[in-house]
Chains A and B, each alone.
Chain A
Amino acid sequence: MSDEQPALRVALVGIVVISLFAALFARLYYLQVLRTTTVEEVFGTARYRDISYQGLRGRILDRNGAVLVDNRESIVVTVDRRQFDALDDKEGLKLRLARALNDAGFPTKVRDITARIEDPRYDPLKPVPIAEDVSPQLESYLLERLHEFPTVDVVRTEVRSYPQGKLAAHLIGYTGSINSEELEARAKDPKGYEPGDEIGKAGVERIFESELRAKPGVRTVEVDATEREVGTRSDVPAVPGADLQLTIDVQLQKAVETLLEQTLEQARLQKKRRETDPPLRAPAGAVVVLDAETSEVLALASYPTYDPSEFIGGISEYRYDELTAPGSFQPFTDRAISTPYAPGSTFKPFTAIAALAKGLITPGDVIVDNGSYELEDCTDTCVFTNAGNTRYGRVDLERSLVVSSDVYYYRIGEAFYRQRGVVGDDALQQTARSFGFGTATGIQLPGEQEGLVGDPALKAARNADNPEAYPYGEWFTGDTVIMAIGQGEMQATPLQLANAYASLVNGGALHAPSIAKALLDHDTGTVTREYGVRTLATVHLPPEIRDPILDGLTGVVADEEGTANPAFAGFPLELVPVAGKTGTAEVDGKADTALFAAVAPANDPKYVVVAVMEESGFASETAAPLVRKIMEHLPEVRPYFEQRAAAPSTTTGSTSTTGPASADDGAEAGGAAAGDAEDDGSAGSEEPTVAATTTTSPPPATTAVDPPTTTAAPDPPATEPTAAPTTAAAVNAAPADQQGATFAPALLALATAGGAAVRRRARRGGVARRPRVPQGRA
């Protein structure tokens, strides 16, 4: 370079170069030495997105494996939001889509589509569902014209299906889209929830949500800055949820629900006794069938009910309002567990137990029931009467149950009050609580109520809280007196009542009723978890207390003056003796609640059945007949009626007998005395020729039976050598593969014979000439 200036300028270039590099070094030093980043930080905040997808929700089965809730395919119309945002003609697309949906019969407004697309709760990476459960016709229509409907897709997903329709709706519950509170509550759930997921909302769908829910599959994709997928990093498939096996029996549940509805309908047709009586609206009711030994729920019905399939894809607001309107009588309420009723006379056995335990009475004490009872030293309400002022005369403990003498229990109630210094001021309540009254039973269903067992403390507290609504804080004699007959401060849910009876008849074991039997692996069906019996407590119930009560309860059904005796006319009590207690509870301003709590077989309790019918009048004319009809469907009884239905119509006998009636019952009953069969048949019921018809019928040709039921039949017990020769021979003579088929007529003959024996024994003794429960059975 010749002159100075350019050289200077070249030198300046060097300075610029060094400055630029200094900047690079500085930045490099900052990034790599001052502000280092760990791999964990980077890969934690990486541009990966987890896209979860649903697996199959577990099915719900009955105790025998019949499917109550399954999954089925639903066709869903979706819109891909990310692509939709880039569309030019958004409104046009929405309009065309709404039109297509409407034409196909799925009423949709453009506004609805906009709302779905803009709903921020949906995963931005997933297409938004616009319409669920559309027809295959619409599916093919749209799929053929996808170019007219950009960003629209039609996919098939799994939704709940109900092969049994509305059956057991209250037990099963339903599923629905998860709401924000549920989402929050399950934020840390290992099965990860996200908006739009289905979740159990009621019934076992809700309680066993964690078990039924599938573990979602997760596809981890890498996305670029515009959230476009650029690759898949991993794909963990979904794990289906476990199948839930319930304790209920579909056949029995079906019968119970049908009969409950029918009986309520019939109850509405009753004539009022007096013009001034409240109307017999019979709007609602509940039935509980428990296993007496384990408190497993075999059937549980609440009427009115609803159809869970209406919730698939969301129920419309209009329909929901309709279902929850007052005239619909709250179909979503499971009355069996959520509605406390005054138990009325069905509570009397527990009053009696309390009195026996405290020594206030003995079984043999006799009072004279003149139809009313006046309290001693009384100023206000002092006279309590029997229903209809009926006079029952001489009444001991057993007869007090048989005829349902209120006076007998008023006296006990007053005794509790008067002796409160000795027995304590809540002795009756203590006994009630020991049988589970006043506490939720702990069944695995949502919304259970705890009922009510009032005591002086409660009444005082109520008065202190709200003196205007509860002006009396004092516990009066009358409070105990009406509690003794299951009124007043005494309320129980049908399930509580059934569970208390189960405890009473099984010897004192109080279980938490169970609705879940087991969890089964979705693929193999093997049991992965068994829900066993949950024993809560054991009530001290010695035979000297329990036996007279059971005798009384047996008399309610078997004795001619028993309150439930008419309802059981024609019922094979000889085959399956039934014990029970009617209850007709008064409700302010409404017709009486009819209740019946029953046990079968009375001599070897297996089932507890409780029926409650609101505003239905006398239990003996409503609830008791309902229970009787339900009991016709018990496995031990069903063959009898099936045979009876089949026998007159055809002599070849085509009825299959699938009831797994215990072989013991058949054998023992048969062992009693076959010779009495005809005698009893004509004496006991409107079907005098049953025994003759069936014993002379040739073995039916059909063979769909349980083989084990026949094994004991040819082998009558040694204690009863006069076993029916005819039937024994018939069974023996039958070819091996037909033995099951011969079971039904054989059982029938044996059963009717056995029943006679029970009755005859009954006639031999007892104050009120009613049968003793054949406990010892020697």
Chain B
Amino acid sequence: MSLLVKPAPSVESLRRDPGAPHRHLDWSLLGLSVGLAVVGLAMIFSATKGSGPTPYTGMVARQMMALLLGLAVMGALAFIDYRRLREWAPLFYAGALGLLGAVLVLGQNVKGAQAWFAVGGFQLQPSEPAKLAIIVVLAAYLAAHRDTLGAGHLVAALALAAVPMALILLQPDLGTMLVFAVVALTLLAVAGVRARYLAALVLLGVIGTVVVLNSDLLAQYQRDRLLVFIERSSDRDSGLAESYNVDQSETAISLGGLTGRGWGNGPQTQEGRVPEQQTDFIFTVVGEELGFIGASVVLGMFLALALRIWRVAQLAKDDFGALLCCGVLAMLVFQVFENVGMSMRIMPVTGIPLPFLSYGGSSLLTSCAGIGIVLSVHMHRFR
């Protein structure tokens, strides 16, 4: 080891503290995150370059800026001791609710959802950072009442999650609301809520879904999407609007085959036949152009990322850290599963981005920030 032979004075002084956070930066988490984001850039380029002689690069450039910003946020959160977040939790929560409330009044309506702020040419989707806020708040609350966790705490935790979920449903954004639900459920489970409570909760969820589906709470398109998923097998070519996206997406992925059509050469992608192929349906580009091998590598990176976060959760110094990691893990894994699953017709269509890959600054920033928190838990596990 060259460091042992010729230690620099500054390094020398640092070596004295083996528990120093910077010595425990998890390079694999950082590398996987950046790697996925770079794959995302390549896919966004392919999906948006167009067929003209000069490829369009506007979206890639914006995403690259978002990535740099995201890495900065990730770094900042990594070096901040995650325990400080516990103190800021009420602030995060209040800010998130404020933004979610404001967007319903001041926001922009894009494709039927009142979910975006337009800020100087950029769009901000407050429901994305709100995911992190709810993770922090629930983790803090559940960790604080870890030993005395009862029904009252359960109700309180559910109420904490329900308020932002209700605001998001008003936009309406069913997918993001589902992320909240999954995150909350995971945190409750990990925190030690009794299995029978959880079972009751799941049952309530199912009944609630049925009621909501049969009420007017959901927009018609949302109901159609869910019904398409349910009726898919018998109704492949019914011409339903909602089955169109999935037909095209599934077809594109099938077209990829083992080795893919090649980057920038996917016929479905280049014809622009998969709607939202740079955002919600970015995985179709991966599947079609990179094939089974490429898509497996991408999914493998996600799996490695998830397992690494899971490992960090196990290594965490305290319950709060472990819960934070599980929250981020639940958020990312559910999004990956739902997003990739809907592209392949094993999940219903909901507008959820694929973390790190989908075009969209808010989503990328949120994913980076989530990894930043996990990095912080990892780095600060000794002190």
Contacts and interface: CB of A to CB of B under 8 A. Distances in A.
Do chains A and B stick together as partners?
yes
A13 B190 contact: yes
A32 B287 contact: yes
Interface size class of B (residues with CB under 8 A): 35 or more
A39 B267 contact: yes
A469 interface: no
B344 A24 contact: yes
Contacts of B336: 24
A464 interface: no
A30 to B, nearest CB: 8
A24 B240 CA distance: 25
Given A24-B341, A27-B346, A13 B319 contact: no
B241 A6 contact: no
A43 B267 contact: yes
B192 A42 contact: no
Interface string B183-204: 0001001111000000000000
A531 interface: no
B292 A225 contact: no
Contacts of B56: none
A10 B251 contact: no
Contacts of A20: 333, 337
B244 interface: yes
Contact of A31 (B319, B333, B344): B344
A21 B306 contact: yes
B243 A225 contact: yes
Interface size class of A (residues with CB under 8 A): 35 or more
A32 B292 contact: yes
Given A17-B306, A225-B240, A9 B292 contact: no
A91 interface: no
A25 interface: yes
A31 B287 contact: yes
A226 interface: yes
A37 interface: yes
A269 to B, nearest CB: 70
Contact of B292 (A2, A33, A43, A46): A33
A225 B242 contact: yes
A29 B300 CA distance: 13
Residue from B190, B191, B302 whose CB has the most chain A CB atoms within 10 Å: B190
B251 A6 contact: no
A374 interface: no
Contact of B329 (A13, A29, A37, A226): A13
Given A1-B322, A39-B267, A42-B251, A32 B192 contact: no
A121 interface: no
B123 interface: no
A358 to B, nearest CB: 75
Given A13-B190, A27-B346, A31-B344, A42 B299 contact: no
Interface in B232-280: 239-244, 250-251, 253-258, 267-268, 273
Nearest to B309: A17
A32 B254 contact: yes
Nearest to A224: B244
A85 interface: no
A25 B244 contact: no
A123 interface: no
Interface string A1-43: 1100111011111100110110111011101110111110011
B360 interface: no
A35 B330 CA distance: 31
Interface in B326-359: 326, 329-330, 333, 336-337, 340-341, 344, 346
A225 to B, nearest CB: 3
Nearest to A6: B192
Interface stretch (B98-106, B107-115, B310-318): B310-318
A47 interface: yes
Contact of A10 (B244, B250, B302, B314): B314
Contacts of A2: 319
Given A1-B314, A10-B313, A32 B241 contact: no
Contacts of A43: 267
A24 B254 contact: no
Residue from A2, A14, A28, A46 whose CB has the most chain B CB atoms within 10 Å: A28
A9 B310 contact: no
A227 interface: yes
Contacts of B273: 46-47, 222
Residue from A21, A29, A32, A222 whose CB has the most chain B CB atoms within 10 Å: A32
B239 A25 contact: no
Contacts of A17: 303, 306-307, 310, 329, 333
Interface of A: 1-2, 5-7, 9-14, 17-18, 20-21, 23-25, 27-29, 31-33, 35-39, 42-43, 46-47, 222, 224-227
23 contacts: A2-B319, A6-B190, A9-B189, A9-B190, A10-B310, A10-B322, A13-B189, A17-B329, A23-B341, A24-B340, A24-B344, A25-B299, A29-B292, A31-B253, A32-B257, A32-B287, A32-B291, A36-B258, A39-B267, A43-B267, A224-B244, A225-B240, A227-B239
Given A10-B314, A28-B295, 4 more contacts: A14-B307, A17-B310, A21-B299, A36-B254
Closest 4 CB pairs of A and B: A225-B244, A37-B254, A32-B292, A225-B241
